[in-house]
């Protein structure tokens, strides 16, 4: 273990900053650190326990007897420390806390860098130093090419149930890198989003109820193993986003809950403290020491694990006081979130701070100096709920739900949105995305292809939960891997290939992502055709005439010679059709180029006539002709794609 050159006792300034809520690298003060001072190598332990009468260090190095290892209280607000003149690397430990009432609690270290494999709960002395990173090219690219005008399609996954070994055991971080990275590259996703990897007690959970915020879970290996996983993702050009839960935490006895016998990390008031929905405790976001703990935690994952961003869970649960009949904003949460985002972006302006917020709180992705919360992305939960409600309805009833599709464009540019088909939509009896679709077997696949293409062509970045790419038919199962055997069936295999082709199509055309967050990037052609449930619109890039025409049909009816208004007097070619036979469709495609006719339609100066596929989407790109002379004096005609990226 590499020794850190830090003092054997905390400095007064460090302690002051911690209590002030501005010690943003509090993990360098608290926890267990092997250090060297004046030629003496030892291990310093430091913990915050403001209500404790006494704190003792216990571990396998002292037979779990702390009588000779009492910590010294160095601040009136409850910072305790001890220096043990031994290198305790790899040893197990806990804090034995004597409460004001004389009760004795055994607590894991809130700042532990590594923890025992469940069901054991001790902390482990571990150094995070020494890993040699090889992702400089990735880091330079992030700063050189901000994500806002780049394609972003996130693959959300849970490590424990994405894929398992034949004996049912977990893959390690290193083994997952071998399996997952080629899979992500093959499918074309730009980022992965990992459900929480903080240490947590229950295998069957997603990890949202954490006990060790500074411990990457030991289920899959060591912290250095996880560093290697992220490093390999970056070297392959894949961003890594971590689900992060600063709103509430697990109530298991060894964790943060009533840490020193009284509310410490959580609110004092019972109604504010208890999260009855999830059986957890809410962080006291008005407490400055909690600010230091949580903001440091975000920087910790960025500094030591090179995490590219955080999907901040349950923002709505923080913004409004819980367990209240009145929807009352929580000013402590607002201040905390603004402060968090300011500190994180000062540390790394390329980071992704994504709010999972189901409310209509204004300016979530606006800068804090404009009164915003300071995130740079927000999940568009309204769009997700509306489009799934629409898709689950029988086709004959969709005309009465037309507004479910159109409404999102009224607010699409009020925030920087990510369009999520996440884990939350495929559990608790909600059914998988494929099984939500009405109709027979083939119609389910057709509508899922339509839904995915609509996702790709709608303004906003994208997210898909694991299994959706090949049409997982069952919802998420907590003890099993994805149903990989479905790839033995033709329609699921074709769905998988469809997603790969859709991803290539998405990345190929700048009109689909360059102006995701600007109203100049979208224009309706026909928004009123509720009777036929057909929608048509234009997606635009930054360059003039860099555009795509998108036509969606949410019914099983085929239309031939269907008129669509277009803005340019040119020829159009079908760039993508979800009904192609190779995708499992019925083959109602537009093989020939479509010449625009000089007759206004849909408020546009020209129109084309085309085939509209059943339960399908067709995307047209304009082409133009350029004439030039050949050597023999004859004219030669070249066709050029407008808006297509050179390869």
> What single-letter DSSP state applies at residue 283?
B
Residue 443: strand, helix, or coil? helix
d(CA 219, CA 348): 29
* Continuous segment of H or E residues that includes residue 620: strand 616-629
Cβ density class 287-313: b for 16+ within 10 Å, e for less: bbbbbbbbbbbbbbbbebbbbbbbbbb
**Residue 4's closest CA among 133, 135, 125?**
125
d(CA 303, CA 311): 17
**Residue 315's closest CA among 299, 334, 341, 300?**
334
Backbone angles phi, psi at 580, to 5 degrees: -60, 145
Cβ contacts of residue 578 below 8 Å, gap of 6+?
446, 449, 450, 452, 453, 498, 585, 613, 616, 617, 618
Distance (Å) of CA 259 to CA 47, 346, 434: 11, 31, 45
Strand-pair partners of 58: 94
Catalytic hit among 313, 357, 514, 546 = 313
d(CA 158, CA 207): 9
Cβ contacts of residue 192 below 8 Å, gap of 6+?
154, 155, 156, 157, 180, 184, 233, 238, 239, 240, 241
d(CA 538, CA 563): 15
Bridging pattern class, strands 461-465 and 153-157: parallel
Task: Please check whether residue 213 is in contact with residue 113, taking contact to mean a CB–CB distance below 8 angstroms.
Answer: no
d(CA 243, CA 245): 7
Backbone angles phi, psi at 28, to 5 degrees: -80, -20
> What single-letter DSSP state applies at residue 229?
H
Catalytic: 272?
Answer: no
Cα-based torsion angle of the residue sequence 467, 471, 473, 475 in order, rounded to the nearest 10 degrees = 30
Bridging pattern class, strands 352-355 and 377-379: parallel
Task: Please check whether residue 95 is in contact with residue 55, taking contact to mean a CB–CB distance below 8 angstroms.
Answer: yes
d(CA 625, CA 407): 38
Cα-based torsion angle of the residue sequence 305, 309, 314, 317 in order, rounded to the nearest 10 degrees = 100
**Residue 380's closest CA among 395, 391, 365, 392?**
365
DSSP 463-493: EEETTGGGT--S---TTS---GGGGGSHHHH
Cβ density class 469-501: b for 16+ within 10 Å, e for less: bbbbbebbeeeebbbeebeeeebbebbbbbbee
Catalytic hit among 96, 243, 274, 356 = 356
Task: Please check whether residue 431 is in contact with residue 392, taking contact to mean a CB–CB distance below 8 angstroms.
Answer: no
Q: CB-side exposure of 164: number of CA atoms within 13 Å?
A: 17
Task: Please check whether residue 142 is in contact with residue 350, taking contact to mean a CB–CB distance below 8 angstroms.
Answer: yes
Catalytic: 635?
Answer: no
Annotated catalytic residues are 313, 356
């Amino acid at each position: 273990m590499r020794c850190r050159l830090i003092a054997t006792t905390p400095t007064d300034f460090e302690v002051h900053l911690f209590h002030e809520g501005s010690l943003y690298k509090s993990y360098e003060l608290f926890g267990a650190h092997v250090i060297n001072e004046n030629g003496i190598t030892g291990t310093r332990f430091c913990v915050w326990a403001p209500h404790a009468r006494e704190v003792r260090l216990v571990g396998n190095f002292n037979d779990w007897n702390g009588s000779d290892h009492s910590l010294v209280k160095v601040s009136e607000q409850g910072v305790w420390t001890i220096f043990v003149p031994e290198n305790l690397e790899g040893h197990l430990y806990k804090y034995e806390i004597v409460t004001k009432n004389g009760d004795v609690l055994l607590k894991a270290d809130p700042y532990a860098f590594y923890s025992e494999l469940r069901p054991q709960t001790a902390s482990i002395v571990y150094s995070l130093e020494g890993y040699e990173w090889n992702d400089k090219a990735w880091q330079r690219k992030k700063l050189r090419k901000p994500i806002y005008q780049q394609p972003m399609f996130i693959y959300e996954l849970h490590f424990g149930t994405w894929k398992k070994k034949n004996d049912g055991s977990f893959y390690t971080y290193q083994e997952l890198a071998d399996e997952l990275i080629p899979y992500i590259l093959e499918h074309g996703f730009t980022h992965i989003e990992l459900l929480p990897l903080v240490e947590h007690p229950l295998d069957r959970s997603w990890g949202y109820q954490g006990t060790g915020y500074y411990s990457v879970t030991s289920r899959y290996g060591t912290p250095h193993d996880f560093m290697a996983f992220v490093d390999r993702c970056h070297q392959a050009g894949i961003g890594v986003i971590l689900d992060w839960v600063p709103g509430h935490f697990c109530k298991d006895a060894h964790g943060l809950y009533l840490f020193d016998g009284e509310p410490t990390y959580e609110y004092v008031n019972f109604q504010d403290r208890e999260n009855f929905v999830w059986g957890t405790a809410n962080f006291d976001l008005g407490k400055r020491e909690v600010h230091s703990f949580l903001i440091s935690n975000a920087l910790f994952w960025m500094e030591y694990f090179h995490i590219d961003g955080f999907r901040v869970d349950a923002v709505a649960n923080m913004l409004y006081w819980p367990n209240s009949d009145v929807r009352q904003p929580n000013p402590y949460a607002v201040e905390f979130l603004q402060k968090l985002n300011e500190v994180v972006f000062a540390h790394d302006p390329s980071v992704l701070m994504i709010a999972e917020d189901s409310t209509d709180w204004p300016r979530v992705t606006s800068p804090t100096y404009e009164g915003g919360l300071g995130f740079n992305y927000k999940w568009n939960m309204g769009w997700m709920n509306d489009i799934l409600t629409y898709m689950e309805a029988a086709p004959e009833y969709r005309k009465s739900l037309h507004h479910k599709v159109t409404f999102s464009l009224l607010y699409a540019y009020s925030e920087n949105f990510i369009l999520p088909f996440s884990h939350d939509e495929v559990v608790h009896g909600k059914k998988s995305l494929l099984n939500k679709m009405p109709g027979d077997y083939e119609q389910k696949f057709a509508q899922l292809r339509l839904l995915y293409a609509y996702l790709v062509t709608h303004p906003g970045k994208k997210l898909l939960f694991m299994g959706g790419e090949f049409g997982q038919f069952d919802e998420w199962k907590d003890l099993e891997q994805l149903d990989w055997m479905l790839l033995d069936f033709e329609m699921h295999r074709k769905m998988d290939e469809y997603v790969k082709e859709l991803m290539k199509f998405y990345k190929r055309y700048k009109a689909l992502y360059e102006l995701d967050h600007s109203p100049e990037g979208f224009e309706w052609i026909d928004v009123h055709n509720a009777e036929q449930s057909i929608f048509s619109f234009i997606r635009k890039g930054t360059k003039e005439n860099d555009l795509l025409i998108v036509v969606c049909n949410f019914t099983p009816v085929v239309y031939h010679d269907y008129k669509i208004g277009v803005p340019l007097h040119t020829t159009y070619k079908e760039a993508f059709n979800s009904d192609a036979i190779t995708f499992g469709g019925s083959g109602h495609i537009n093989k020939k180029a479509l010449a625009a006719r000089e007759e206004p339609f849909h408020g546009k100066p020209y129109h084309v006539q085309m085939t509209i596929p059943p339960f399908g989407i067709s995307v047209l790109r304009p082409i133009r002709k350029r004439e030039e002379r050949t050597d023999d004096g004859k004219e030669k005609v070249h066709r050029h794609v407008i808006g297509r990226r050179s390869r």
